Amino acid sequence: MANVTLIRAATLTATPWKNGGGVTREITCDPPGAGLDDFIWRISVADVNQAGPFSRFAGVDRTLVLLAGDGMVLQEENSLQHALLQPLDHHQFAGETAITATLPGGATQDFNLMVRRDLARAALNIWHNAHEHRFATETAVLFCASGSLLVHLSQHAPLILRANDAIRIDAASGLGCYITGSGALLAVELEMFTPALLRKTHD
């Protein structure tokens, strides 16, 4: 049976970024209790109050989703720019890439998914209002980006999510999920590489 953990936004603890340039609130990670140098995957919410460089994470694939604020422009070292101007705009990039963020309209808040690419993979989808789904991976994380949503999981009591609340589901594979309400939900499905997959990726 799936193991379901409800994570309320009010319980999240603010900690400094790796480079000290901002504040992040970890939602969940694997292995539990891992630090910034030894996680396999990590999901967090960051408050970005000023322009500046992002922390760099070698070997990590990152996905950034704008949650609130007037936008963020990401400037890569090769002069490419990526503008996140509306809530739920998102961008994927390699963690070792040198990126500087500017804030055209002031402070923003973003959702940050980080996955060590040699050890795991992740898929992120955005669900709006009512949505039905069956999980195909062992771990899933559901994050309420806006509004109020009711999450129905097979053989579990319904759970209410409000902005920045989350649910972590372990042993999720095959579990049915139905979302109702009005808002937006970020659904992350995570899969660890098995030893066989690890050998294949290094062949």
Let me know whether 22 and 39 are in one domain.
Answer: yes
Let me know whether 103 and 188 are in one domain.
Answer: no
Structural domain includes residue 147: yes
Let me know whether 57 and 136 are in one domain.
Answer: no
Structural domain includes residue 38: yes
Let me know whether 71 and 137 are in one domain.
Answer: no
Let me know whether 19 and 87 are in one domain.
Answer: yes
Q: Which domain holds residue 125?
A: 120-192
Last residue of a domain, one of 72, 98, 116: 116
Let me know whether 108 and 17 are in one domain.
Answer: yes
Let me know whether 111 and 137 are in one domain.
Answer: no
The mean of the pLDDT values for the chain is 91
Let me know whether 22 and 112 are in one domain.
Answer: yes
Structure tokens at 122: 């992740």
- The residue with greater pLDDT, 90 or 195, is 90
Last residue of a domain, one of 116, 143, 166: 116
Let me know whether 100 and 48 are in one domain.
Answer: yes
Instruction: Provide the domain count of the chain.
Output: 2
157-170 residue pLDDT tens = 999 999 999 999 99
pLDDT category of residue 179 using cuts at 50, 70 and 90? very high
Last residue of a domain, one of 66, 89, 116: 116
Give the pLDDT of residue 67: 97
* CATH code where residue 72 lies: 2.60.120.10
Let me know whether 111 and 125 are in one domain.
Answer: no
Three-state SS sequence of the chain:
CCEEEEECHHHCCEEECCCCCCEEEEEEEECCCCCCCCCCEEEEEEEECCCEECCCCCCEEEEEEEEEECCEEEEECCCCEEEECCCCCEEEEECCCCEEEECCCCCEEEEEEEEECCCEEEEEEEEECCEEEECCCCEEEEEEEEEEEEEEECCCCCEEEECCCEEEEECCCCCEEEEEEEEEEEEEEEEECCHHHHHHHHC
Structural domain includes residue 3: no
14-59 residue pLDDT tens = 988 776 667 899 999 999 999 888 999 999 999 988 888 888 899 9
- HSE toward the beta carbon, residue 166, CA cutoff 13 A: 24
Let me know whether 95 and 135 are in one domain.
Answer: no
Whether 64 contacts 87, CB under 8 Å:
no
Let me know whether 79 and 173 are in one domain.
Answer: no
Give the pLDDT of residue 201: 45
pLDDT category of residue 197 using cuts at 50, 70 and 90? very low
- Predicted TM-score (pTM) of the model is 0.92
